[in-house]
Chains A and B, each alone.
Chain A
Amino acid sequence: MKRRAPLSINDNMRKTMFSRRSMLLGGAQLGVAGLLGARMAWISIAENERWQLLSESNRVQLSLIPPRRGWIVDRAGQPIAMNRSDFRVDLIPDRLQNPNRVIASLVELLDLPEEEVARIRADLEDAAGYQPVQVADGLEWEQFAAVNVRLPDLPGVAPLQGYSRYYPAGPAVAHLVGYVGAPSREDYEETRDPILMVPGFKIGKDMLEQTMEDRLRGEPGARRAEVTARGELVRELETRPDVSGDVLRLTVDAGLQEYAARRLGTESGSVVVIDTLTGGILCMTSMPAYDPNSFSDGISHLEWNMLSEDDHVPLRNKTLQGLYPPGSTVKPMNALALLGQGIDPEETVTCSGRTRIAGGNFHCWRRGGHGAVNMNRAVAQSCDIYFYQMGVRIGMDPIAQTARTLGLGQRFDDLPVPYQYFGTVPDPAWKRRRFNEEWQTYDTVNATIGQGYMLTNPLQLAVMAARLGSGRNLTPHLVAANAGPRAAPLNFSAEHFDIVRQGMSDVVNGAGTAGRARLPIEGVQLAGKTGTAQVRRITMAERRGGVRSNASLPWELRDHGLFVCYAPTDNPRYAAAVVIEHGGGSGAAYPVARDVLTYLYDQDLAMEALERYEAGWGGDIATRMARQEAEYRARQAAAEAGTMRDPLASRASRDPETGE
């Protein structure tokens, strides 16, 4: 029989069917209700923890309190980088109801320049909701108070009292400690540290501020607050205070650092002074320099252009990035190498002003020649011919080895600096590696007077002077706590050292090349060595017609002036290197070294001399920089609106061996 439903259903069947099906329906509905209850139990019991966590993270907003950055102080505790109370005003885009009216009020209250208003508007457009946009910082108390008074009429305006970095010595410490600035997107992506997103928070951008970031930064505090979905504050919950960064004590003498910077005057140069007992760096100055105070505030296009167009390269840290042929400053080192190879210091070479070596003509800096010179005279009077002939006799390898032992070509890895151009100490192996060429005799000749391939930075020169003076394998350091045990003696005989040191003493105190470098201090003698580094080739034609005086050359063709020294001669305490770019010769360098070392013994005497110089230069650093900027501004009458940028971001990276 076909399983076909009956075609006709009677009313009774219909009723039965309804009651069955409605039972089924009611049961199904109850089942669904049960399932809903079970689902709810699952969410609120089994998954409770997860949702509770999310609910809390909705409710509670964590805002970070930027920590105060640790001070950087000098060896005596004098501040080099400190924090100043800073009043700033931000805009919170989300709470801004009428941007035009609010900005207009702020312009009136804070006296904002046109270009700043343009920047604020641009920033507001890019800003995401709750992320504050800076209106102004470094405000006067009166301005800050005026904004606070008007606050009820200015929704979206957030006045904030914070701290800004302050470098009392300004440009004098720029290339020592660097500066701070707003973190870049890359900085944030590297660490994902939320503190980097806090407006106004700054991180170290160069030198010690950058390399010592971890110690200086401190621990951010946190404020927990209940907020609505629209970001309105309901109430504060709890606050964890911030922990300030550590104080960083340096080996540097702040007074000396500033003195050296001022003493460099209008020159482009660097001064490095090292404590020969510890290897601690007492001063590491490169001038001219930028003002880290204005860099830390963010720098305008104009300021940036002015600095990058300056031929005195204020953006380059010349103590570490400046590479110079050391010139005759390597001669004491040469002498030590010769002694090590058994050369008799009393053996004489006759200097007639020129000599032929391996088929080439080579000249002494003194056209008339020095006559018969032994080692002492060769160092004191810087005779080139002596070192040409002796150098060729022992060959390049022992010279290069001695140079490296004394610190030339060395990279000081423990030094907390972001970059070091360590230069070149050439030898045959190096030349083969680098140029795939054989070492030639004239290469040795050039190297013995610190020319040719030889390149050093001023820090290395100071280390060489310190090692020569102390006889110890000193390593330079900047952070006071990093002073290790006393450095081990260098592997040269005391006798040899004495000969070389006597030569260096005679440079200044005998019949040497730098008699004017004598210290005006009773009982303290200076030993040193002059150096003049050519930056151009002197042609034979020019030599015949008489070498042009440096003063008649354009500035950028003049010779670099160098001087390395230590004092006192009998028991060295300080060693120094001074390099004056295009100073015309060592005569530009050793007076600076003399005055800087004088400062260490008699500050008043040194300051007196400095004030005389500064009167001639047209004021101290700040005055001259202000004038320079005003002149530049006048030249760039149609200056473009300034915007913030990272001042050193475009500093090209160069080869640390050659500086190119």
Chain B
Amino acid sequence: MSTHQDSLVPEQIAQLPWRLILLVLAIAGFGLAILYSAAGGQIQPWAASQAVRFMVFFAMAIMLSRFREEHWKFFAYPVYIVTLLALLGVEIIGQVGGGSQRWLNLGFMTIQPSEIMKPVLVLALAKYYDTLPSGELRRLVAIWPALLLIGLPAALVVIQPDLGTTVVLVAAGVTIMFLAGLPLRLFIGGAVALAAAIPLAFMFLLEDYQRNRVLTFLNPENDPLGTGYHITQSKIAIGSGGLFGKGFLNGTQSHLSYLPEGHTDFVFATMAEEFGLFGGLLLIFAFAMLIRWGIRVGQNAQSTFSKLTAAGLSTTIFFYFAINLMMVMGLAPVVGIPLPLVSYGGSAMLTVLICIGILMSIDRENRMRRR
């Protein structure tokens, strides 16, 4: 690397991981274009506010990248506890107010504690395994506190009920346990147990509307006007796009309102209709790059905490992306998970940019160490 002193830009700016930033800006910019089209070629009501939101959160992510590993380590448990309390608070308010609620109104903005919990849980688990001596890894003590850390928020989220977020939380948590070095047979056994438990969970744990969604997912043509409508219309949008799509602003499924939620959960279908397979592969490639970068950051990190945090956060982003795309393409039930950075809405964007911010901070540390 050349010396930064010669450069016209200040060192703090030049130090930023520009390739990643450009990648994130590209994904978000593409998302804004899709929102512009989804509104019928207008920046209102979605594209403009989404752009403002992105800039605010992205600036925040840059700020987060200035934090050091010690800060994250220090804050991991307190923030976890606060977020857990917030989840509990949401549940209590919901119970008192009647009906379920996921939001906490802070006056100037509403936040969704279950979203915040995603990176926070990763930090807490990473912190736990970081403090756990390597010698203890094959002991019970390597398992139950982690399960408790995952189980408490997962339980609070699943009774909200928010199946999508629960799945992402548990999946990310289990991934960290896997990366932390727990014995493989635990995961194989767990997978077998899960396979056995799914029918039982389906019968007894799911709400009626969730059960319907799963049934509809298995056979969308059964209920073409009910819950199957989402999946079918989404597949129509993607399938009719063909190789290069119908052209920007020319999607009929979205513009004629056949595609429900075309600006939020099903934004990928809106995109695919207008940009076709080409646009879809581009977006998938961009996300693959983003996640690969996150995993690399983890591999280059020094401490167990940083390694696990980076891999866990990348995995969280991965699960958002993968579950959303599977849902949109009819490979998973409609669970209500947005496509990060692209779907209209603040909560998921905040979560993902927090993840990216922390990843950038670890990356910065890696690079500073190498220098």
Using a CB–CB distance below 8 Å, which chain A residues touch chain B? 5-11, 13-14, 17-19, 21-23, 25-26, 29-30, 32-33, 36-37, 39-41, 43-45, 47-48, 50-52, 54-56, 58-59, 226-230, 234
Which A residues are in CB contact (< 8 Å) with B41? Answer: none
19 pairs across A/B with beta carbons < 8 Å? A5-B138, A10-B134, A11-B134, A22-B299, A29-B288, A29-B322, A30-B288, A33-B321, A39-B329, A43-B235, A43-B329, A44-B277, A44-B280, A51-B235, A55-B239, A55-B252, A58-B256, A59-B252, A59-B256
Q: Is B241 an interface residue (CB 8 A)?
A: yes
Residues of A within 8 Å of B197, CB to CB, are none
**Separation in Å of the A11 CB from the closest CB of chain B?**
5
| Contact pick for A9, options B138, B292, B330, CB 8 Å | B138
What CA separation (Å) do A439 and B321 show in the bound complex? 95
Whose C-beta in chain B lies nearest to the C-beta of A54? Answer: B236
How distant is the Cα of A422 from the Cα of B42 in the complex, in angstroms? 75
Q: How far is the CA of A6 from the CA of B239 in the complex (A)?
A: 52
With contact pairs A8-B134, A22-B179, A55-B240 given, residues A40 and B272 touching in the complex (Cβ less than 8 Å): yes
CB-contact partner of B281 in A9, A18, A40, under 8 A: A40
Which has the most chain A C-beta neighbours within 10 Å: B178, B237, B239? B239
A229-B134 in contact given A17-B181, A55-B253 (Cβ < 8 Å): no
Residue of A nearest to B185 (CB): A5
**From B321, which residue of chain A is reached at the shortest CB distance?**
A33
CB-based nearest A residue for B324: A36
Task: Assess the A51–B239 pair: CB atoms within 8 A.
Answer: yes
Query: What's the least CB distance linking B305 to chain A, in Å?
Result: 12
Given A26-B295, A51-B240, A58-B258, is A5 in contact with B183 using a C-beta cutoff of 8 Å?
A: yes
The complex places the Cα of A41 from the Cα of B272 at a distance, in Å, of 11
Neighbouring B residues of A50 by C-beta, 8 Å: 239
- Asked if B137 is at the interface (CB within 8 A of a chain A CB), the reply is yes
State the CA gap A166–B370 with chains docked (Å). Answer: 96
Shortest distance between the CB of B105 and any CB in chain A (Å): 32
Question: In the complex, which residues of chain A have a beta carbon less than 8 angstroms from the beta carbon of B95?
Answer: none
B150 close to A (CB within 8 Å): no
Q: Does B287 lie at the interface of the complex (its beta carbon under 8 Å from any beta carbon of A)?
A: yes
Question: Smallest Cβ distance from B359 to chain A, in angstroms?
Answer: 14
Considering the chains assembled together, what is the distance between the CA atoms of A6 and B134 in angstroms? 11
The reply to whether B331 and A39 contact each other, CB–CB distance below 8 Å, is: yes
- Provide the residues of chain B in CB contact with A14, threshold 8 Å: 134, 137, 181, 304
Residues from chain A with a CB closer than 8 A to the CB of B258 are 58-59, 228-229
Residue from A30, A36, A45 within 8 A of B325 (CB atoms): A36
Q: Is B206 an interface residue (CB 8 A)?
A: no
In the bound complex, how far is the Cα of B370 from the Cα of A105, in angstroms? 81
Q: State how many angstroms separate the Cβ of B128 from the closest Cβ of chain A.
A: 14
Which residues of A sit under 8 angstroms from B307, Cβ to Cβ?
Answer: 18, 22
In the assembled complex, how far is the CB of residue A356 from the closest CB belonging to chain B, in whole angstroms? 84
A47–B134 alpha-carbon span in the complex (Å): 52
- Is A48 within 8 A of B134, CB to CB? no
Shortest distance from the beta carbon of B118 to any chain A beta carbon, whole Å: 16
CB within 8 Å of A: which B27-63 residues: none
Complex Cα distance A163/B257, Å? 35
Residue contact A228 to B242, C-beta cutoff 8 Å: no
Q: B81 within 8 Å of A by Cβ?
A: no
Which residue of B is nearest A43, CB measured? B239
Q: Which residues of B are in contact with A by a Cβ distance under 8 Å?
A: 134-135, 137-138, 175, 178-181, 183, 232-233, 235-243, 252-253, 256-258, 272, 276-277, 280-281, 284-285, 287-288, 291-292, 295, 298-299, 304, 307-308, 311, 314-315, 318, 321-322, 325-326, 329-331
Chain A residues positioned under 8 Å from B295 (CB to CB): 22, 25-26, 29
Q: Are A44 and B318 in contact (CB under 8 A)?
A: no
What is the bound-complex CA distance between A17 and B175, given in angstroms?
Answer: 14
The 3 A-B pairs with the shortest beta carbon distances in the complex, nearest first, are A51-B239, A55-B240, A229-B257
Q: Contact: A18 with B236, CB < 8 Å?
A: no
Q: B252 to nearest A CB, angstroms? A: 4
Distance to closest chain A CB from B247 (angstroms): 14
State how many angstroms separate the Cβ of B363 from the closest Cβ of chain A: 15
Residues from chain A with Cβ under 8 Å of B135 in the complex: 7-10
* A230→B258 CA distance, assembly (Å): 8
Structural contact, A52 and B134, CB atoms closer than 8 A: no
From the candidates B134, B175, B252, name the one contacting A13 in the complex (CB within 8 A).
Answer: B134
Per the bound structure, the CA–CA distance linking A7 and B318 in Å amounts to 33
Closest to B294 in A: A26
B224 to chain A, nearest CB (A): 10
Specify which chain A residues have a CB less than 8 angstroms from the CB of B318 in the assembled complex: 29, 32
| Given A25-B315, A40-B329, also A51-B236 (CB < 8 A) | yes
Contact of A234 among B237, B238, B256, B325 (CB under 8 A): B256
Residues of chain A within 8 A of B137, CB atoms compared: 9, 14
Given A14-B137, A51-B236 in contact, is the A58-B252 Cβ separation under 8 Å?
A: yes
A37 lies within 8 A of B257 (CB): no
A43 touches B252 (CB 8 A): no
Q: Closest residue of chain B to A14, judged by CB?
A: B134
User: How far apart sit A58 and B178, CA to CA, in the bound complex (Å)?
Assistant: 47
Contacts of B315 on A, CB cut-off 8 Å? 25, 29
Instruction: Specify the chain A residue showing the minimal Cβ separation from B245.
Output: A44
Instruction: Pick the residue among A6, A17, A26, A55 that contacts B236 (CB under 8 A).
Output: A55
Determine the distance from Cα of A48 to Cα of B137 in the docked complex, in whole angstroms.
51
Contacts of B326 in A (CB 8 A): 36
Cβ of B125 to closest chain A Cβ, rounded Å: 14
Measured between beta carbons, the chain A residues less than 8 angstroms from B292 are: 26, 29-30
Name B232's closest neighbour in chain A (CB-CB). A54
In the assembly, what is the distance between CA of A47 and CA of B330, in Å?
Answer: 13
* Inter-chain contacts of A229 with B (CB < 8 A): 256-258
Bound CA span A7–B140, Å: 12
Smallest CB separation, A62 vs chain B (Å)? 15
B249 to chain A, nearest CB (A): 14
Question: Do B284 and A37 touch across chains, with their CB atoms under 8 A apart?
Answer: yes
Closest-CB distance, B271 to chain A (whole angstroms): 11
Cβ B178 vs Cβ A25 within 8 A: yes
Q: Which residue of B lies closest to A39 (CB)?
A: B329
B304 contact set on A, CB distance < 8 A? 14, 18
Which residues on B sit within 8 Å (CB–CB) of A8? 134-135, 138
Q: Which residues of B contact A30 (CB under 8 A)?
A: 288, 292
Residue from B235, B236, B253, B291 within 8 A of A29 (CB atoms): B291
Decide: A7 near B138, CB < 8 A? Known: A21-B179, A230-B257: yes
Cβ of A3 to closest chain B Cβ, rounded Å:
11
Contact between chains at B181 and A18 (CB < 8 Å): yes
Greatest chain B CB density within 10 A among A6, A25, A56, A228 is at A25
Given contacts A36-B329, A41-B277, A41-B281, 13 further A-B pairs with CB under 8 A are A18-B180, A22-B295, A23-B299, A25-B178, A29-B292, A33-B288, A40-B277, A44-B276, A52-B239, A54-B236, A54-B239, A55-B239, A230-B257
B270 to chain A, nearest CB (A): 13
Chain A residue with the shortest CB-CB distance to B322: A32
Shortest beta-carbon distance, B44 to chain A, in Å? Answer: 19
Give the docked Cα–Cα distance between A627 and B183 (Å): 101
Contacting residue for A40 out of B238, B240, B252, B322, CB 8 A: B238
Contact B256 A33 (CB under 8 A): no
Please, which residues of chain A bring their CB within 8 A of the CB of B272? 40, 44
Q: Contact check, B179 vs A33: say whether CB atoms are below 8 A apart.
A: no
Q: Which chain A residue lies CB-closest to B178?
A: A21
Q: Which B residues are in CB contact (< 8 Å) with A54?
A: 232, 236, 239-240
Report how far A30 CA is from B289 CA in the complex, Å. 9
CB distance from B185 to the nearest CB of A (A): 9
CB distance from B196 to the nearest CB of A (A): 22
A residues in contact with B178, CB < 8 Å? 21, 25
Task: Verify A25–B236 contact, CB threshold 8 A.
Answer: no
Closest Cβ of chain A to B51, distance in Å, is: 27
Which B residues lie within 8 Å of A43 (CB)?
A: 235, 238-239, 329-330
CB distance from A132 to the nearest CB of B (A): 21
Q: Out of A9, A21, A48, A227, name the residue touching B256 (CB < 8 Å).
A: A227
Are the CB atoms of B298 and A22 closer together than 8 Å?
yes
Given contacts A9-B137, A19-B299, A22-B298, contact A36 B322 (CB under 8 A): yes
